[in-house]
């Protein structure tokens, strides 16, 4: 089991490293703060991935899948950050396509986390799973079509917002929110509440970035990328840590 984990981690790290072309021809400039933020976040994602995978041995069986998925989210983000960083450092363009591919994989996985932690305490059903997944896909497809210029930027925004609001409805007032409230499991209720706050407050940064970057035009590509980078840092790593904390406290190994 230990060997398998080390192997998985090494594979993730290698994929990130070998996936980057021309590492010696493109250097990070010391005043490229956006590029620096891409570097810092990519290393944070790598560290978080190692941490989550190694911690899976410290949590009860029912919570293990949730912690593994937290590691998958940061691991997938790590690899995309290696590419995004390269695009930015080499061209100074926004790596929109890589960013959206990353979101398209990691955001649905984070939605699945709500389902997984509910199922860790036996309160989940498949309807919640599909509704959360659907909401995240609508949100991201709308945003991508708008940012990439396939449809009108305002229309893309409206479709994206509809998906996000649908997710918020499900986790606050919908079946998932109600199931969490009624579960009577302290670790679950705390984690669910914290994850819901991240999806409300932490996620609000992205549509705000979109509004200022594409609709009102007040934000340049530099600021937009720094904002998206910092948001990803919080929304992926802190989100995973919340799940890890609930998993360890529910497993009784770390509770004080």
Q: Round to whole Å and give the CA distance between 250 and 256.
A: 12
Residue 6's alpha-carbon distances to 28, 50, 80, 198, in angstroms, are: 30, 9, 21, 30
What's the min distance (Å) between Cβ of 112 and ligand RET?
Answer: 13
203 binds ligand RET (CB under 6 A): yes
Query: Does position 160 bind ligand RET by CB under 6 A?
Result: yes
Identify which of residues 107 and 247 has a Cβ nearer to ligand RET in the complex.
107
In the set 63, 78, 164, 244, which binds ligand RET (CB under 6 A)?
A: 164
Q: Rule CB under 6 A: is residue 179 a binding residue for ligand RET?
A: no
Stretch that binds ligand RET, among 10-18, 125-133, 215-223, 228-236 (CB under 6 A): 228-236
By the 8 A CB rule, do 105 and 79 touch?
Answer: no
Of 232, 242, 224, 247, residue with least CA distance to 96: 224
Considering only the stretches 11-19, 46-54, 160-168, 218-226, report the one whose residues sit in contact with ligand RET under the rule CB under 6 A: 160-168
User: CA-CA distance, 9 to 15, in Å (whole number)?
Assistant: 10
CB of 129 to ligand RET, least distance (A): 18
CB of 111 to ligand RET, least distance (A): 10
In whole angstroms, the minimum distance from the beta carbon of 203 to ligand RET comes to 4
235 binds ligand RET (CB under 6 A): yes
Return the structure tokens found at 129.
């799973």
Burial-class residue 245 by CB neighbours within 10 Å (0-12, 13-18, 19+). middle
- Cα 243 to its chain centre, rounded Å, is 13
Contacting residues for 11 by C-beta, under 8 A, at least 6 apart: none
What CA–CA distance (Å, rounded) separates 53 from 49?
6
- To ligand RET, the closest distance from the beta carbon of 209 in angstroms equals 7
Q: Which of 199, 235, 252, 251 is nearest to 70 (CA)?
A: 235
Number of residues that bind ligand RET (CB under 6 A): 18
Here the tokens at position 206 are 């992205």
- What is the nearest approach in angstroms of ligand RET to the Cβ of residue 232? 5
Residue span binding ligand RET (CB under 6 A) among the ranges 112-120, 176-184, 230-238, 248-256: 230-238
Q: Is 143 in the site for ligand RET (CB under 6 A)?
A: yes
To the nearest 10°, report the CA torsion of 110, 112, 116, 119: 150
Q: Does 206 bind ligand RET (CB under 6 A)?
A: yes
The token duo for 172 is 């606050």
- In angstroms, give the least distance from the CB of 70 to ligand RET: 12
Among 83, 157, 233, 244, binds ligand RET (CB under 6 A): 157
Which residues here bind ligand RET, judged by CB under 6 A?
103, 106-107, 139-140, 142-143, 157, 160-161, 164, 203, 206-207, 210, 232, 235-236
């Amino acid at each position: 089991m230990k060997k398998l984990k080390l192997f998985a981690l090494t594979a993730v790290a290698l994929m990130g490293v070998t996936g980057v072309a021309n590492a010696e021809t493109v250097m990070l400039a010391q005043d490229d703060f956006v590029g620096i933020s891409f570097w810092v976040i990519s290393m944070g994602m790598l560290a978080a991935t190692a941490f989550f995978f190694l911690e899976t041995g410290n949590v009860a069986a029912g919570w293990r899948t949730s912690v593994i998925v937290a590691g998958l989210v940061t691991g997938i983000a790590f690899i995309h950050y290696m590419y995004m960083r390269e695009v930015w450092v080499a061209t100074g363009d926004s790596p929109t396509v890589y960013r959206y591919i990353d979101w398209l994989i990691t955001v649905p996985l984070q939605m699945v986390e709500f389902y997984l932690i509910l199922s860790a305490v036996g309160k989940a059903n498949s309807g919640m799973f599909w509704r959360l997944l659907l909401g995240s896909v609508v949100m991201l497809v709308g945003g991508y079509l708008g940012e990439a210029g396939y449809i009108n930027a305002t229309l893309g925004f409206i479709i994206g917002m509809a998906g996000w609001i649908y997710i918020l409805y499900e986790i606050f007032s919908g079946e998932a929110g109600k199931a969490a409230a009624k579960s009577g499991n302290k670790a679950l209720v705390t984690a669910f509440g914290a994850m819901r706050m991240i999806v409300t407050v932490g996620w609000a940064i992205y549509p705000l970035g979109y509004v200022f970057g594409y609709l009102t035009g007040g934000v340049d590509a530099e600021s937009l990328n720094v904002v998206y980078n910092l948001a990803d840092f919080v929304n992926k790593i802190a989100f995973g840590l919340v799940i890890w904390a609930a998993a360890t406290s529910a497993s009784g190994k770390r509770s004080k």
